[in-house]
Structure 1
Amino acid sequence: MRQRLFSGVICLLLLSAVSFVHAQDDRLQIVASNSILANVATIVAGDAADVTSTMPAGADPHSFQPTPNELTALADADIVFVNGALFEEGLLEAIENAGTDMNIVTASSCVDILAFGEHDHDHEEEAGEHEEEHTVEPAAEVDSDIAALCESHYAEMEALHEASHDEGEESAETEDHEGEDAEHDHSAGESLGPLYTLNCESQDHEEEHEEGEHNHGACDPHVWLDPHNVMYWTMLIRDTLIEADPANADTYTSNAAAYLDELDTLAHDFIVPMVESVPEENRILVTNHDAFGYFAAHYGFEVVGTVIPSGSTLAEPSTADVAALIDTIREANVPAIFAETTVNTSLADQIAEETGATIYTLYSGSLSDADGPASTYVDYIHYNITTIVEALGGGIE
């Protein structure tokens, strides 16, 4: 009797173990290209799916090349989220060369993509008024499913904005976002439009690409520097996970809703007051490379120069480029040069020594390690905005 009872217990334990393994096998396996995107996907997925990042925290996305093991993890994933706009060019080239067939989803499909140079406007003008300096051929075909999905996201963003902000509220941020939230004219002159309507590769990009260089072409891919764009990421990730795993739709929906509220609060209740504390004449930026355009365009800053005159950290400035930047810093009386954690600061240090500007370090293409000040996207924004604002003479006690 005792032996039969013991055998029964063992069978139950074995069945439980098999059921647990089967349940684990059924969980969505998600890979995001970089640590920022992985953090957002992790928050939306919650406990219902497994999320990993191809690029580790601290990696420079512009120079990153995946290992064979990382390519295997990508191939085994149910969904691979990428930023798009040629940000992961080296990664996508490696995938293509490996011949792997995987479900790649562009998280920025519904984001208004800026052309490089669109955000370098006079900071005395209202944010959102940009000169048209780009020529990009539209994509040959528009995916009607993506187009419909994006339209639903624009309507959802408008509803969120109306629900969380008084209609009579006026600020530099809300004036800038007025066109996006009220009309959603995503083909307006101030932007290239959503990714699904255009071809990011300009002729110049194709020529440089043939020489083995990485360049983002006409598109600025650094969309996450404006939290509104990460709200579009959140919506698209949510809808993608629901389609792939409808059994956990409630989890993905509730997680996304809570995070959208958090991002909306971050954009309006944290960033706007911080920016307004900076004197208007001080709202100028010199950054290590051209990565902070979306922040500048949305919140009324002017990017007057970059140490590396490119959207890629792999470019090399000429002697004339460096001399011109030094002159610009002196003429504009720029107090700060913003370096980055993923890029060597030696040239920025030299320019700071030459001009008397102070070096401050920001996080750009990567989160920090878990014990660092920017281990989540929300912490990343808090750290960067606080650093920028205090460096330029602002701050809220």
Structure 2
Amino acid sequence: MNRVLPLALAAGLAFSIAACGNSDSKAAADDNAALKVVATTPEVADFVRQIGGDRVAVTQIIKPGVDPHDYEPTPADLQAIGAAEVVVENGVGLEEWLDGTIEAAGFDGTVVDASKGVTLRTDDPHIWHSPVNAKIMVTDIEEALATAEPAAAGTFGTNLTAYATELDKLDADNQAAWAKVPVAQRKLVTNHDAFGYYVDRYQLDFVGSVIPSLDTSAELSTAQLAALVAKIKQTGTKAIFTESSLPPKTAEAIAAQAGVKVIGGEDALFGDSLGPQGTEQGTYLGAERHNTATMTAALGG
């Protein structure tokens, strides 16, 4: 169910446009030749940049390190959506706020659900963690961009072909990395249940999560905490992996009780987000390579 857009947000749009109008005029003029695209999450924004190249001007709504499950739209988001020609979403219910925001912004362009064609796990929006799904997502995006900007369709198609090759290589590299980890040691515990598609693709054993949900708003009860500690001990799980967009405190407490190590800090997994823009982990490929390298190093040793 979509959240109701706060009235204050819609009311703030006019002020936001007036305040930003002068400073944004030059940027708008510079981007006149580019297709204006709003992308909701860091992952789909990176996909749009990879496929669109310099033929698109991308506004990314959710910034790196921000939990998308708790996101609340801002007046600047309405302004960006209202000015866009295409809006790209992850889909599968991740952006509960989007429909109301689009309506409030008066957007009448194309909305692209990048999950179209993906075989879904029940209520699990973290589809990008399988490179196979990522190929479907970028294909959906390429089709929408080519429809919106036919003059650049050749460029978008060429970029899709090149990026699909990169995704195939990522998948092959992931397969090779996990092949070096004994099957009995491929046991995963994370902050929340964000890696189901990854687990399925690479045949891992998902032991459990600190937050017992696909969403990050759930809380672990005392009984669930004790059960997770017991399961970690029983299965011989080696580590708990924290995530870049979630606090590590509870994971650290569980790890201490279970007698296992915590993988966090700079080694934290990218579950719901990417790294800072401009870094290797700020791209989908870089973040996924980081995740695989971190997990296989910790579990294979």
**Alignment TM-score, normalising by the size of structure 1:** 0.65
Query: Is the counterpart of residue 63 in structure 1 residue 65 in structure 2?
Result: no
Instruction: Quote how far apart the aligned CAs of 1:299 are.
Output: 0.8
**1:314 alignment partner, one of 217, 232, 239:** 217
Distance in 1 between residues matched to 2:80 and 2:236, nearest whole Å: 49
Distance in 1 between residues matched to 2:31 and 2:188, nearest whole Å: 48
Distance in 1 between residues matched to 2:104 and 2:33, nearest whole Å: 29
Instruction: Quote how far apart the aligned CAs of 1:227 are.
Output: 0.7
Which amino acid is 1:287 matched to? T
Distance in 1 between residues matched to 2:50 and 2:126, nearest whole Å: 20
SS at match of 1:331: helix
SS at match of 1:65: coil
Instruction: Quote how far apart the aligned CAs of 1:371 are.
Output: 5.0
**1:233 alignment partner, one of 110, 123, 137:** 137
SS at match of 2:287: helix
Instruction: Quote how far apart the aligned CAs of 1:96 are.
Output: 4.6
Question: Contact 1:284–1:304 at 8 Å: present in 2 too?
Answer: yes
Distance in 2 between residues matched to 1:47 and 1:357, nearest whole Å: 47
Aligned to 1:253: 157
SS at match of 2:218: coil
Distance in 1 between residues matched to 2:146 and 2:42, nearest whole Å: 22
**1:265 alignment partner, one of 166, 169, 176:** 169
Question: Contact 2:79–2:105 at 8 Å: present in 1 too?
Answer: no
SS at match of 1:36: helix
Query: Is the counterpart of residue 244 in structure 1 residue 151 in structure 2?
Result: no
Distance in 2 between residues matched to 1:306 and 1:93, nearest whole Å: 31
SS at match of 2:188: strand
Distance in 2 between residues matched to 1:73 and 1:90, nearest whole Å: 15
Aligned to 1:174: none
Number of paired residues? Answer: 271
5+ residue gaps, structure 1 = 1-20, 116-218
Query: Is the counterpart of residue 392 in structure 1 residue 295 in structure 2?
Result: no
Distance in 2 between residues matched to 1:249 and 1:240, nearest whole Å: 10
Distance in 1 between residues matched to 2:104 and 2:67, nearest whole Å: 21
Instruction: Quote how far apart the aligned CAs of 1:356 are.
Output: 1.3
**2:202 alignment partner, one of 299, 308, 318:** 299
Distance in 1 between residues matched to 2:59 and 2:200, nearest whole Å: 31
**Alignment TM-score, normalising by the size of structure 2:** 0.86
Question: Contact 2:34–2:54 at 8 Å: present in 1 too?
Answer: no
Larger Rg: 1
Distance in 2 between residues matched to 1:372 and 1:25, nearest whole Å: 28
Question: Contact 2:31–2:57 at 8 Å: present in 1 too?
Answer: no
Question: Contact 1:75–1:102 at 8 Å: present in 2 too?
Answer: no
Identity of aligned residues (%): 38
Which amino acid is 1:245 matched to? E
Aligned to 1:140: none
Aligned to 1:212: none
Question: Contact 2:84–2:107 at 8 Å: present in 1 too?
Answer: no
Distance in 2 between residues matched to 1:244 and 1:340, nearest whole Å: 36
Map Cα deviations across residues 97-131 of structure 1 (whole Å, 9 max, x no partner): 6665453210110111112xxxxxxxxxxxxxxxx
Larger deviation, residues 102-111 vs 92-101? 92-101
Aligned to 1:287: 190
Map Cα deviations across residues 287-315 of structure 1 (whole Å, 9 max, x no partner): 11110000101111121111100001111
Aligned to 1:343: 246
Q: CA RMSD in A?
A: 1.8
Distance in 1 between residues matched to 2:47 and 2:105, nearest whole Å: 27
The verdict on how the C-alpha distance between 1:101 and 1:249 changes in structure 2, with shifts beyond 3 A counting, is closer
Which amino acid is 2:211 matched to? I
The verdict on how the C-alpha distance between 1:99 and 1:252 changes in structure 2, with shifts beyond 3 A counting, is closer
Considering fraction of residues, name the structure with more helix. 2
Aligned to 2:44: 37
Distance in 1 between residues matched to 2:169 and 2:99, nearest whole Å: 34
Which amino acid is 2:139 matched to? M
Q: Say which structure, 1 or 2, has more relative contact order (CA 8 Å, 6+ apart).
A: 1
